A and B are shown apart, each in its own frame.
Chain A
Amino acid sequence: EDQVTQSPEALRLQEGESSSLNCSYTVSGLRGLFWYRQDPGKGPEFLFTLYSAGEEKEKERLKATLTKKESFLHITAPKPEDSATYLCASKGGGGNKLTFGTGTQLKVEL
């Protein structure tokens, strides 16, 4: 059974204070590792897909990386508008079903 574990559950940063969110996964035959952003009261918004160890993707202040057991979402010089819950999900085996972690709630303060 696929498992995805995210840490920390919550993270509070000062504006400009860089940090990383962790996603540990156990999946048979990884076919994609996904990051989503979710704002309060809204649906998850797609950020990145990573397919193989060593792959990196960037978008503005966010960079996602992937190893054989973990993915990291690095946030460089965050701003208050980066405050959200960040979800990680894995896709393995056949089909397009995703297994989600419980998310990291990020708050960036001035």
Chain B
Amino acid sequence: NAGVTQTPKFQVLKTGQSMTLQCAQDMNHNSMYWYRQDPGMGLRLIYYSASEGTTDKGEVPNGYNVSRLNKREFSLRLESAAPSQTSVYFCASNNQETQYFGPGTRLLVL
């Protein structure tokens, strides 16, 4: 039981490049989330998916898109990366009570 997994662990992009962050969970959870974490800002919700086939914006959705591919997988796409998107990105999934987090993807946009 791997829990929540994320790939890649670290990525460097140039401004304007695109990339997709992958997330998968093996806990049969319905809800999945994408957060970004920046120094002094705490964890901020980018997008979430309450169930397979649905997605909704969180607090900071601009510049991102998501896809809930199936119940297990929830991807985050940066279409045209900007230096302001340099951050650590966490995926999480939720059973009825608790959110469980992945190990994170560290993204540097130059």
Contact = CB atoms under 8 A, between A and B. Distances in A.
Contacts, number: 46
Interface residues of B, number: 22
A interface: dominant SS = loop
Contacts of B33: 97
B interface: dominant SS = strand
Interface in B25-48: 31, 33, 40-45, 48
B58 interface: yes
B97 A49 contact: yes
A98 B33 CA distance: 10
Interface residue tally of chain A, by bracket?
20 to 34
Give the residue among A32, A42, A44, A96 with the most B Cβ atoms within 10 A: A96
B104 A42 contact: yes
Which 3 residue pairs are nearest across A and B when measured between Cβ atoms? A43-B101, A102-B42, A100-B43
